[in-house]
Amino acid sequence: MQNKTLNKIKNLADKKYKKIGVVSDKKKIFPKEILRDFDKKDLIRILGYHFNNKNTFSYNDEFNFYYHATKYCANIRNYFLVSLGMVGSTILKYGTINQKKLILKHIEKKNFISSLLITEPTAGSNINQIKTNYIRKKGNYILNGKKTWITLGAISNIYLILANGEEGLILFLTESKSKKLKKKELKNIISNRGSHIATIDINNLKLTKKNILGENIITSSKALGYALMHGRAIAALSAFSMCSAALDEVIEYSKKREQFGKKIWNFQQIQKIISDTRVFIEAGLSISNKAFKLKRNYNSDSENFCSMAKLFATSHLTKTISNLMDIYGAYSTSSENNIERFLRESKGFSYIEGTSQILTQLVALNSILGIRK
């Protein structure tokens, strides 16, 4: 049964998502039809180990699933990265029975889209500077603040909101339909154009203890690290998967394009770019595979390794895609070729799930403090 889901995602990626990637970027619309591509059993195989379900993927099957799911389309990538890989997995790991039922209900209806609300106008990677606050009042929690750069934020039906207050940082789980949540989609961004990235104004949103993830502050705090760890592992793999898609197209182009009476793949400079890219991808897939293995056991070692995988990906991705563009020459700047879109998306990887600068500091400090690599 595991192979059935893996075969499904591979066929969908090659035959459907590859085309959707072009259309979704141009029209700037999230392809909601993909929500119908997987039934509850498929999604349980992907997410099952987070809540000890026996019918779940091995770490290697999970790795292969995300490799194909994130290969061609940034907006589909963000669904699997954020909605399932970060929010869905974290709620199923740390949520109460009722909170898990809420997620599974939306999965059953095939309308599950979720967002993680962390970033603010003046706080991103430094979560200790979060200004969205909660106040305890008559047993309730009143939330106020502003979140921005929220992936899928304008179309999500489930929010995990990080807020700060007298009891420290807390993750609150809520449905997004409240009138106290005002969404404004960001315009004119160069990447993730169909991911409906939004600013969310939170105005006197009244929640209760039942909205705290796990209904426990300590559990909520641990869950935040869990979500970020998974996001970094999946983002790293996604970067190498997208780079692989770019390389495949470049190789096909080099077999057709002629200069000086030869197919351009015959020239050493072209061969070097292809060779360097292949080495980068294979090294990246290897480190990502280990990250997927280690993240099955959530601890400081697995957190650190997932950060390293993400850092390795984003430190070299844009330069690698830029080098591939040189094989196309001026044609690479045309939207008729996907390489132009891949370059735009590559830069976005530098900012999601922890900037490269922050991850550099985390990896260095963890190494100095003696955490194993």
Per-residue model confidence as pLDDT tens digits over 315-344 = 899 999 999 999 998 888 888 889 999 999
Is residue 10 included in any domain, yes or no? Answer: yes
Q: Is the domain of 341 the same as that of 296? A: yes
Q: Is the domain of 225 the same as that of 208? A: no
Domain that holds residue 183: 117-216
The residue out of 78, 113, 148 marking a domain boundary is 113
| Digit-coded pLDDT (tens) for 44-84 | 899 888 988 888 999 999 999 999 999 999 999 999 999 99
Identify the pLDDT of residue 1. 52
At 373, the pLDDT band (50, 70, 90 cuts) reads very low
DSSP 3-state assignment of 201? strand
Q: Is the domain of 187 the same as that of 61? A: no
Residue 51 sits in a domain of what CATH number?
A: 1.10.540
Q: Is the domain of 254 the same as that of 354? A: yes
From residue 16, alpha-carbon distances to 3, 28, 155, 290 in Å are: 19, 17, 22, 29
Q: Is the domain of 364 the same as that of 231? A: yes
Cα–Cα distance for residue pair 160/38, rounded to 1 Å? 23
| Digit-coded pLDDT (tens) for 82-131 | 999 999 999 999 999 999 999 888 888 888 999 999 999 987 667 778 89
Q: Is the domain of 205 the same as that of 236? A: no
Q: Which residue bears the tokens 């997987």? A: 38
Is residue 128 included in any domain, yes or no? Answer: yes
Q: Is the domain of 92 the same as that of 210? A: no
Quick check: 371 pLDDT over 60?
Answer: no
Identify the pLDDT of residue 332. 83
Cα–Cα distance for residue pair 343/320, rounded to 1 Å? 9
Average pLDDT of the chain is 91
Mean pLDDT of the region 286-308: 94
**The pTM is what?**
0.93
The residue out of 192, 216, 240 marking a domain boundary is 216
Q: Which residue bears the tokens 């280990």? A: 290
Is residue 373 included in any domain, yes or no? Answer: no
Q: Is the domain of 95 the same as that of 129? A: no
Residue 254 sits in a domain of what CATH number?
A: 1.20.140.10
Q: Where are the alpha helices (DSSP H) in the chain?
A: 2-12, 18-27, 40-47, 59-69, 74-78, 89-94, 97-109, 217-256, 268-294, 300-328, 338-348, 356-368
